[in-house]
Amino acid sequence: EVQLVESGGGLVQPGRSLKLSCAASGFTFSNYGMAWVCQAPTKGLEWVASISTGGGNTYYRDSVKGRFTISRDNAKNTLYLQMDSLRSEDTATYYCARHREWSYFDYWGQGVMVTVSS
Assess 41 for contact with other proteins (CB under 8 A). no
Residue 70 phi/psi, 5° resolution? -95, 140
**Nearer CB in complex with other proteins: 28/110:** 110
Single residue of 9, 105, 114, 116 touching other proteins by CB under 8 A:
105
Assess 27 for contact with other proteins (CB under 8 A). no
By CB under 8 A, the residues from 76 to 95 that bind other proteins are: 95
Residue 75 phi/psi, 5° resolution? -70, -25
| Distance of alpha carbon 9 from alpha carbon 85, whole angstroms | 15
**Nearer CB in complex with other proteins: 72/109:** 109
What is the nearest approach in angstroms of other proteins to the Cβ of residue 34? 13
End-to-end CA distance of the chain: 40
3 state SS of 100: helix
